[in-house]
Structure 1
Amino acid sequence: MARKFTVSPTKLRTFHQCPTKYKLEYIERLGRFYRKPRAGFSFGASLHNVLEQFHTQGGPEAVTVEALTETLASKWQSQGYRDAEQEQAYKAEAVKILAAYHARAVEVPIEEAPVTLYSEKTLNAPLSPEIVLSGRVDRVDQHPDMSLEIVDYKSGREVVEPEHVAGALAMSIYQALLKHHHPEQRVFATIIALRTGSQASHEQTPEEREWLLADCLETAETLRNKDWDGVLPVLNDHCPDCDYLPHCERYWKRQRRMEGYVDES
């Protein structure tokens, strides 16, 4: 049986940002040569791993704040920091974040506390006989009224508004995927800014879900059938933060040389 073509929020977002980046990442698979560790990524991943264990082990009723700090030490990722001083500053910030997170969790009355249904769970749903939509959620909680809440952590953001959740492609896809598996239950999504505790939610309407799935299918068909040989590097707003910028700069340098420009760099 032929393997189905799979698209995810990351794949779709990458293509919308820059087709060349998609080509280098998913077609030519050059990431291992260009992708570099970053402090923010390591910091976020460390917190995600600690909070995953916190919720799967029973939350504040079962896990003390001291235990959270111990888990952080065992889950800490050290890649990407400029030096030991910067890493230590990030680690101290992580301890503060986890203590505040635990304090907020303790304040929720037991009778109102949700139960974690999934943690770091991959959800899939068919878009067509040949295409699958896939997404990995940080956490899904089931509330006493049986509603399902998708929870996503942001370690670099300080403020979250409902429109941020509504406009986040990943959160929209997660809602559509979860609704596919639990059609009879209310589904909504929440983003939590870990540094401040700010959070906001959005519940996708049936019309929003229908439009989203149609758009994902259209983009997936484009990705599946595109002539990638004709996709060449083009300067855009995402270039300064892109790991593949050196690759594209070499291409642009070759093009200038072929066109007769003198390289004075």
Structure 2
Amino acid sequence: MAYQISATKLQAYNRCPYAYYLKYERKLSGSEFFGSAALGTALHQALAQCHRDWHYCNPLPDIQWLHQCWEQQVEGLTTAQAEEGREILESYYQNFIASETFLARPLAVEGKIQGYLQVENLEFCITGRYDRLDFLSDGLELIDYKSSREVKLPEPDEIDLQIGLYYLALEQTYRQSLKYLSLVFLRTGQKFRYQATAEHKDRVEQVISKLAVRLRYDQQWEPRPGGQCDRCAYSRYCTAVSANPAPLPPLAGARQFQLALSL
């Protein structure tokens, strides 16, 4: 089968090849903790319904349309969460709908992307998800909603890799280039827009090429010390963190990937 690669995986590899190897190749469990995302999930679903199911016969929906979408997503939320979500969506309406002359129909919402890249005779399958994809006169804009309380922007290297992966996959799927990747922070009403270029795609192809060499020839996965070491779930196995690292558990099984032969 093709080797699955996503923005999250490629960002992890770029941060530290050794941590990537332990997590994705050795399948070691980490100590990550994931909190409840019920409110964030409900907000994403309400916005998907708002943009997908609006009839677009009128230039703009009124605020009641967003209220209606929200009411269909509140099951399972606490009363406080339902009220907070309603306020967040009202702010979204004022910032991103009411100020427009018309609401443009998106190309897709809550979608998946998939693309393929062949490197070192290995077939990579690029996967990802997006909240909304808009068609512009000169390309595509991919929009990612953020429901976190803190406005925390990705590091430049990480956003560049994410842009490059989406650029490559969307170009294959829609025969259109990605023009912008936009992060919309729902709680603050801020939108951060990153311009996408072919250079982002080139950068991603270079990083995947380095990964392919390691996969193809089983080269060493060296650690890359940095600020991420303090919160790394695999630091106990790492010589860059500990003078006496814990031994690695036995391999669970052989790695599976597909050779792409040129005929």
TM-score, normalised on structure 1? 0.68
CA change 1:99–1:68 in 2 (3 A) is farther
For 2:170, what is the secondary structure of its paired residue?
Answer: helix
Whether 2:30 is the aligned partner of 1:22: answer no
Matches within 5 A, 1:1-265: 3-31=1-29, 34-39=31-36, 43-58=39-54, 61=61, 64-74=65-75, 76=77, 93-103=84-94, 104-110=96-102, 113-128=103-118, 130-143=123-136, 145=137, 147-156=139-148, 157-158=150-151, 167-183=159-175, 187-206=179-198, 208-225=199-216, 227=218, 231=221, 236-244=226-234, 248=237, 255=244
CA deviation after TM superposition for structure 1 residue 50, in Å: 3.0
Q: State the one-letter code of the partner of 1:96.
A: E
Whole-angstrom distance in 2 between the partners of 1:168 and 1:26 = 21
Q: State the one-letter code of the partner of 2:35.
A: R
CA change 1:179–1:149 in 2 (3 A) is same
Whole-angstrom distance in 1 between the partners of 2:245 and 2:181 = 48
Q: State the one-letter code of the partner of 1:203.
A: Q
CA deviation after TM superposition for structure 1 residue 4, in Å: 1.4
Q: State the one-letter code of the partner of 1:132.
A: C
CA change 1:48–1:102 in 2 (3 A) is same
Whole-angstrom distance in 2 between the partners of 1:240 and 1:90 = 33
Whole-angstrom distance in 2 between the partners of 1:165 and 1:52 = 29
CA change 1:66–1:221 in 2 (3 A) is same
Whole-angstrom distance in 1 between the partners of 2:73 and 2:146 = 17
CA deviation after TM superposition for structure 1 residue 150, in Å: 0.9
Q: State the one-letter code of the partner of 1:255.
A: N
Q: State the one-letter code of the partner of 2:216.
A: N
CA deviation after TM superposition for structure 1 residue 200, in Å: 3.2
Whole-angstrom distance in 1 between the partners of 2:210 and 2:46 = 35
For 1:21, what is the secondary structure of its paired residue?
Answer: helix
Q: State the one-letter code of the partner of 1:102.
A: Y
Q: State the one-letter code of the partner of 2:126.
A: L
Whole-angstrom distance in 1 between the partners of 2:69 and 2:52 = 13
Retained in 2: the 8 A contact 1:68–1:98?
no
Q: State the one-letter code of the partner of 1:34.
A: S
Retained in 2: the 8 A contact 1:121–1:138?
yes
Whole-angstrom distance in 2 between the partners of 1:253 and 1:165 = 27
For 1:12, what is the secondary structure of its paired residue?
Answer: helix
CA deviation after TM superposition for structure 1 residue 105, in Å: 1.6
Retained in 1: the 8 A contact 2:141–2:180?
yes
CA deviation after TM superposition for structure 1 residue 16, in Å: 1.6
CA change 1:216–1:11 in 2 (3 A) is same
Retained in 2: the 8 A contact 1:50–1:75?
no
The alignment of Structure 1 onto Structure 2 pairs a total of residues equal to: 236
Whole-angstrom distance in 1 between the partners of 2:44 and 2:163 = 16
